[in-house]
Amino acid sequence: MSAMNRKHALAVVAGLLAMTVSTVAKPAEYQIAIANMKFGSPPAELHVGDVIVWRNDDIFRHTATARDASFDVDLPPKSQKKMTVERAGAVKFYCRFHPMMTGELNVQP
């Protein structure tokens, strides 16, 4: 391999590595919509640092409240709020105004 080709090959490898790193490190954003008094399904794959956009499509006020008190998101009618996932583990959540509304997040480290 000539010096010129080797330099080019190294640049390509460095470029691929940079792409891989940025793909892994970038937090994902997911939406959980509330409609007809029900939480939509949470994302199957969720990691610490990801963002959840809670969106309330109902005409009622709801909350997304963690049983372990790690989050409590107030959602007036037709509103949405962003929340960064801060802890790994399974956490059940519910709506304070309608306790039969429930769901569970499963967060990987």
Binding site residues, Cu ion, CB under 5 A: 62, 95, 97-98
Please compute Rg for the chain using Cα positions: 20
Number of C-beta neighbours around residue 58 at 10 A: 17
Identity of the residue, 32 or 50, whose beta carbon is nearer to Cu ion in the bound complex: 32
Distance of CA 50 to the CA centre of its chain: 4
Identity of the residue, 52 or 62, whose beta carbon is nearer to Cu ion in the bound complex: 62
Question: Cβ of residue 73: shortest distance to Cu ion, in angstroms?
Answer: 11
Question: Cβ of residue 46: shortest distance to Cu ion, in angstroms?
Answer: 22
d(CA 63, CA 6): 58
Identity of the residue, 49 or 103, whose beta carbon is nearer to Cu ion in the bound complex: 103
The phi, psi pair for 12, rounded to 5°, reads -65, -45
Question: Cβ of residue 82: shortest distance to Cu ion, in angstroms?
Answer: 19
